[in-house]
Chains A and B, each alone.
Chain A
Amino acid sequence: GQQLNQSPQSMFIQEGEDVSMNCTSSSIFNTWLWYKQEPGEGPVLLIALYKAGELTSNGRLTAQFGITRKDSFLNISASIPSDVGIYFCAGPPEAQKLVFGQGTRLTINP
């Protein structure tokens, strides 16, 4: 089935550092999304991208829709403790079917 390859799988950083993660697909997507999951909860939508080349920010988070339409990137600037969690990329290979990457687990040392 459709797979999204997300990297890195885990990150261990110091508070205040910037974070970058990316996601690649074997096929073209018309939409890219980034979700965050905190322990014991379901994923929550952070950013949605609908156009190739689009760059969208949500506070300290910035995501980009790759121009090839097969990749997307998420950056977090000046990380803080509440950024801890698992970040997922997602995209719809077809209508009504959202597939997710394997996730990037972010750990922050204060």
Chain B
Amino acid sequence: NAGVTQTPKFQVLKTGQSMTLQCAQDMNHNSMYWYRQDPGMGLRLIYYSASEGTTDKGEVPNGYNVSRLNKREFSLRLESAAPSQTSVYFCASSGTTGHYGYTFGSGTRLTVV
């Protein structure tokens, strides 16, 4: 009963480096999401994928790209990391349109120096 699995759990990058955050869910959910969490700002939606083959921008998409590789996997890529992207990143999934009881992963803590 893994639910939503994110890798890595921690990462330190230098400014300008690139990396991909991985997310996989084993609940056969259609929709997947990427959020970032910063102190005092709650969680902000970066990108989402309502179904396999589709992706859309959320509230804070600049500096990120996503790929919905298949129904299970949704990755988030930072092409050229900046200190402003230091944050905790959460992936989530949802099985039913209009149902917002998202299942979240345990997060990736990213530091850009």
Contact = CB atoms under 8 A, between A and B. Distances in A.
A102 B33 CA distance: 18
Contacts of A45: 101-102
Contact of A98 (B40, B97, B102, B106): B102
A96 B42 contact: no
Interface residues of B, number: 26
Interface string B40-80: 11111100101000001011000000000000000000000
Contacts, number: 62
B40 A42 contact: no
B100 A92 contact: yes
A100 B59 CA distance: 11
Interface of B: 4, 31, 33, 35, 40-45, 48, 50, 56, 58-59, 90, 92, 97-98, 100-102, 104-107
